[in-house]
A = this chain, B = another copy of it.
Amino acid sequence: MVRRGRELIQLPGPTNIPERVLRAMHRPIVDFGSPEFTSMARGCVEDLKQVFQTKGEVFAYSANGHGAWELAFDNLIAPGEHVLMPETGRFSQSWADMAQGLGCRVTTTAPYHERPVDPDAIEHLLRADKGHDLKAVMMVHVETSTGITHDVGAVRQAIDRAGHPALLLVDAIASLGAVDLPMDRLGIDLVVTASQKGLMLPPGMAFAAVGERAMRASANGGAARRYWDWRLRQGDETYFWFYGTPPVQMLFGLREALDMILEEGLDNVFARHHRLAEATRRAVACWGREGTIDFQCKVPEARSDAVTAIHFPSGADPDALRKRCREQLSVAFGAGIGPFAGRLLRIGHLGDLNEPMLLGALGALEVAMRLEGVPHNPGGVAAAAAYLAEALVA
């Protein structure tokens, strides 16, 4: 069946790329050694610091989110060294798998798949590590497989309470530019992210914001490395910052995306994400009033403003629902992945999104639930609309 109109991408990433960004990238190649380009690229790095909320260093790579994960290891954790990775879902699992693949030792926790990481448990584990064998706590801020925002600040305090020197390394791939994460104020040592979510770019770049402690730790620590080595990514030319040819078009896109974020203002960006996420939650709450649909996250205040994961106690098949949405209604939702494969449907609501786009996606989901016979209490879109009206008055 030929579909018409714009496809709506409600994945938790990659997210919709704004027209302005695509337009900025549609540009002939330039001489990346020219002063104009160098100056533009430098401005991107400076402005990224505002988005990371840090006075530390920012490094950019041609890579994806997995590359972002790997650079955290290579720069800071040598093979054989030991890290603590709270078990939060598919992405903490993959990151831990990477740790093992790279020859590091990993301690995980009990699963936090329905509620946020318990800081007391972290404190307990760190106190038990009397020899300070653990080099870092590595955690996911917004775990996109569950839709849970984990409390990075509370974990920082737990580390401090334990008097443990472990670095705190955070995956903000699904939260940077969507959910507030004041890196310096929270005392985070490293934040990594990728281009295709809150930064609204195509996939293909990874970023690291590195605090002072992490810079020091990397000076003599980490693995033997080259591509990921941020120590090399310095100097006067973008060729050095990127350890080879910089991704020219992506940088033009990044410039535009940063302009958009800074024009809107970070606080407004976060407020918009909260508003749209809460509208989504109101819709879900309405649909699930009779228990046929529920949030994966059982702690309401930990439900993320970036993605909402829902399941179907009624036994409905979320993958059939997604397929229906994609094929007949031109809306793409996220699947359950990893330990949640076949069990969840995830509604992404981050990036370049507004009220009618979200209402359209929720409306299409309501249509699809009818078509698939998924038991639900009707009226979700109306509930979302009612909330948005309230929120926009304020």
Bound Cα distance A72, B379 (Å): 50
Q: Report the nearest B residue to A9, measured CB to CB.
A: B29
A32 with B14, Cβ < 8 A, contacts A70-B227, A363-B384, A366-B385 known: yes
Task: Please determine whether B371 and A385 come into contact, CB atoms closer than 8 angstroms.
Answer: no
Which residues from B are CB-within-8-Å of A225? 101-102
Proximity bits, A244-277, B CB within 8 Å = 1, else 0? 1111111000000000100111001100100000
Asked if A289 CB lies within 8 Å of chain B CBs, one says no
Task: Please determine whether B382 and A245 come into contact, CB atoms closer than 8 angstroms.
Answer: no
Asked if A392 CB lies within 8 Å of chain B CBs, one says yes
CB-defined A-B contacts under 8 Å, sample of 18:
A4-B272, A5-B16, A5-B357, A19-B27, A31-B332, A62-B62, A62-B203, A62-B205, A67-B244, A204-B205, A204-B249, A329-B356, A330-B356, A355-B364, A355-B367, A356-B364, A360-B361, A382-B382
Which residues from B are CB-within-8-Å of A101? 224-226, 229
Partner of A203, one of B18, B246, B371: B246
Bound Cα distance A272, B26 (Å): 26
Task: Please determine whether B354 and A361 come into contact, CB atoms closer than 8 angstroms.
Answer: no
Which residues from B are CB-within-8-Å of A17? 28-29
Task: Please determine whether B357 and A224 come into contact, CB atoms closer than 8 angstroms.
Answer: no
Q: Report the nearest B residue to A232, measured CB to CB.
A: B101
Partner of A29, one of B15, B245, B272, B367: B15
Show the binding face of A for B, using Cβ within 8 Å.
Answer: 2-9, 11, 13-19, 22-34, 62-67, 70, 79, 98, 101-103, 194, 196, 202-205, 224-227, 229, 242-250, 260, 263-265, 268-269, 272, 326, 328-332, 335, 352-364, 366-367, 370-371, 378-379, 381-382, 384-386, 388-389, 392-393
Q: Report the nearest B residue to A381, measured CB to CB.
A: B381
Which residues from B are CB-within-8-Å of A371? 389, 392-393
Which residues from B are CB-within-8-Å of A28? 6-7, 9, 16-17, 19, 22
Task: Please determine whether B359 and A330 come into contact, CB atoms closer than 8 angstroms.
Answer: no
Partner of A248, one of B32, B67, B203, B249: B203
Bound Cα distance A147, B160 (Å): 57
Partner of A245, one of B23, B33, B64, B355: B64
Which residues from B are CB-within-8-Å of A265? 2
Which residues from B are CB-within-8-Å of A392? 328-329, 367, 371
Which residues from B are CB-within-8-Å of A360? 355-361, 363
Partner of A356, one of B26, B29, B363, B379: B363
Partner of A227, one of B33, B67, B242, B331: B67
Bound Cα distance A102, B98 (Å): 18
Which residues from B are CB-within-8-Å of A263? 2
Task: Please determine whether B31 and A326 come into contact, CB atoms closer than 8 angstroms.
Answer: yes
Task: Please determine whether A8 and B363 come into contact, CB atoms closer than 8 angstroms.
Answer: no
Task: Please determine whether B226 and A352 come into contact, CB atoms closer than 8 angstroms.
Answer: no
Bound Cα distance A245, B331 (Å): 19
Task: Please determine whether A247 and B204 come into contact, CB atoms closer than 8 angstroms.
Answer: yes
Q: Report the nearest B residue to A24, measured CB to CB.
A: B23
* Interface-centre pick from A16, A194, A263, A381 (highest chain B CB count, 10 A): A381
Bound Cα distance A250, B18 (Å): 17
Which residues from B are CB-within-8-Å of A393? 371
Task: Please determine whether A2 and B268 come into contact, CB atoms closer than 8 angstroms.
Answer: yes
